[in-house]
Chains A and B, each alone.
Chain A
Amino acid sequence: MTALGELHFRPLNVGRWVVWGFTAVVFIAAPQIFTSGFARALLSQMGILIIFALSYNMLLGQTGLLSFGHAVYSGLGAYFAIHALALIGKGALAFPVSLLPLIGGAAGLFFSVVFGWLTTKRAGTTFAMISLGIGEMVFAASLMFPAFFGGEAGISGNRTAGPPLLGIDGLTLGPDIQVYYLIATWTFVCMIATYALTHTPLGRIANAVRDNPERAEFIGYDAQRVRWIMMMLAGFFAGVSGGLSAINLESVGSGAVHALVSGGVLLAAYIGGVLFFFGPILGSVVFVFFAFALSEYTPAWHLYLGVFFVLLVMFAPGGLASLILLNLRVAKFGKFRRLRDPYVGVIGTGGLLAAGIVLLIEMTYHQTLGIGSGSSVRVFGFPFDTARGESWVFGALVVAAAGVAFEYMRRRFKSEWDAIAVEIEDWRRDNPEQDQ
């Protein structure tokens, strides 16, 4: 595989307006295609996480800052937004509910100014450790000051408070679909804003500081200042996502500032690919699928997410975005046809292997955690009896057979893939001017 940084996401090439227009259409159409309440709730979660992950990637992918405490800014943003919502409900504050994310953003900005001053003095491990410490500190504070953080129960609000949106009767933000479109609008705006940021002097210098902070200082830039400003902007967008979350759930608890949330956004960004602008967007969609959709079906979702993450980091360290771009490059060179059969083989056998493993895991989970609910468990719609040896033998046979077949297919795929990669590299070496 080639160095990932060589690949670039250039919406200009495909037409910036086409990409953004398509995104807008997807945002508008999605809840009309997936109409169930559950699906719409997922879509709302995806929108919120997209903003949060893009904000996170302003630090990780763009500035090279690995933070373990980003939930501090989204969480505190959510708390300030929910308090504002409560005030609106009491009539003590005249502020449109639809703009509450701005209050969340202001809170995120404020705290990232304060904490960022501390954390950005150093990059690398020191930054990561201080961010972890601040995360723990804020979480501890959330339990210590129940008046603000609401203790165990958290703080609740009512998003229908205040006058209707744009003065139109019926736009109360009560129905889920209205909240979805509010979130989608905010997500779309934040996506454009964070994308635009990558094409500004600050955005580019942040990349330079990520690559080589020392050299950045010798071309006139204060690396700490660059990190700090990036941190403030990231804090703002994190706060916006927190504010949206407050509107969406109408409740904020101390879990909002917990390290689990910080870890989740790291996973989401990394799964998608931190070196590409659209990576965290993809990662958020996948992460929500695991954390909110898969968790409805199986208690083992953490395990699946973990395994998925490990495999991705091992075989596609550039994330899903790099997988897509590498394949697009193969297609651009007109060689994708050669990969079609190997892909069918790898995906077919890989899917079977995964199914076998899932079967064994689900039966194990059922046997150890599902006590009292009988020995029968449904996997992929089929009933399996965990008390009978045949079920286990069947699962093991599927895994063994699919494993052998998959390994064969994987090698075939790899040799073809590597051959294509070499051909492309040769061509690029011989034609440096035409290289994009």
Chain B
Amino acid sequence: MTTPALELRQVRKRFGRTEIIRGVSLTINSGERHAIIGPNGAGKSTLFNLVSGRFHADAGEILLNGATITRRKPFEINRLGLARSFQITNIFPRLSVFENLRCAVLWSLGYRYSFWRNLNKLADAEARAERLLERIGLTRRRNIQAGLLTYAEQRALEVGITIAGGAQVILLDEPTAGMSRSETARAVALIREVTQGRTLVMVEHDMSVVFGLADRISVVVYGEVIASGPPEEIRADSRVKEAYLGQPAEAT
């Protein structure tokens, strides 16, 4: 059996006296597109924050490609090949769109903290940033300050920064939140394209997106995974229907 890309074993997290994550175990295989769904406040974003190192779990273990990352810092986890996006747009607002992407490729290209190289002569970093610009459809906005982009454009940039470093495991937190129908369609196409051959874990509320993209779905309710499986299985699961999905799932 191959090592799973991401594995959570009995992960727990409490804030004050409230336990938000109550023993989550989850296995995500390499190359899989996995959606995490659940009602508001179920702990989906907290789960992402634990996996990406923003918070540390109180108990349990998190493994990336078989190696534990439970106590690692965000930049260490990123260097091990996991990148994430944020529910609330989290970009470098005063840098240009291009600079946002170029910054995001620097570490993976091995430039680290170097202050003896001319950034403008790093052809590989520039080429990669330009290609990313094209893929996320922001070439025309290349020199605009990122903070001045429209909401949908910022979301696209958010995805661009996340995939820039070439991480094999990508976490997207509500990538289509707040988008119009046509914007969502474009975003889904983008996500499908850029995560080709990688492992994708996403939190998403839009059921058409979830059932359109995901190979497997996990349902989180009150800090626990109540079901995990392929879309048709989740659709048919009575506990899921009862706890969360209800009518919208039938409709799609």
Contacts and interface: CB of A to CB of B under 8 A. Distances in A.
Nearest to B120: A199
Contact of B94 (A205, A211, A216, A233): A211
Contact of B113 (A6, A196, A229): A229
Main SS of the interface on chain B? Answer: loop
Given A3-B145, A5-B145, A219 B164 contact: yes
Interface in A8-22: none
A222 interface: yes
Contact of A432 (B84, B120, B141, B161): B141
A89 B118 CA distance: 41
Interface of A: 3, 5-6, 196-197, 199-205, 207-208, 210-212, 214-222, 225-226, 229, 233, 432-433, 435-436
B75 A205 contact: no
Q: Which of A6, A207, A219, A229 has the most CB of B within 10 A?
A: A219
Contact of A218 (B75, B93, B113): B75
Interface stretch (B59-67, B103-111, B230-238): B103-111
9 residue pairs, one from A and one from B, having the closest CB atoms: A220-B107, A202-B115, A211-B92, A217-B74, A201-B111, A5-B94, A220-B78, A219-B104, A200-B115
Interface in B43-73: 52, 54, 73
> How big is chain B's contact interface, by range?
35 or more
A215 B90 contact: yes
Interface of B: 52, 54, 73-75, 78-79, 83-84, 86, 90-95, 99, 102-104, 106-108, 111-120, 122, 140-141, 143-145, 147-148, 161, 164-165
A220 B144 CA distance: 24
Nearest to A198: B119
Q: Which of A197, A207, A233 has the most CB of B within 10 A?
A: A207
A196 B165 CA distance: 25
Contacts of B140: 432-433
Main SS of the interface on chain A? Answer: helix
22 contacts: A3-B148, A199-B119, A200-B116, A204-B99, A204-B102, A205-B106, A205-B113, A207-B103, A211-B93, A211-B94, A211-B95, A214-B90, A215-B161, A216-B103, A217-B75, A219-B83, A219-B106, A220-B75, A220-B78, A220-B106, A220-B165, A432-B140
Contacts, number: 113
Given A200-B119, A233-B115, A207 B75 contact: no
A212 B115 contact: no
Given A218-B52, A220-B79, 5 more contacts: A196-B118, A201-B119, A219-B78, A219-B83, A226-B113
Contacts of A204: 95, 99, 102-103, 106, 119
Nearest to A4: B94
A201 B122 contact: yes
B118 A199 contact: yes
A61 to B, nearest CB: 11
A212 B92 contact: yes
B78 A212 contact: no
B115 A219 contact: no
Contacts of B144: 432, 435
Nearest to A215: B90
A215 B75 CA distance: 10
A418 B27 CA distance: 58
B91 A203 contact: no
Nearest to A210: B94
A210 B94 CA distance: 9
Contacts of A215: 86, 90-92, 161
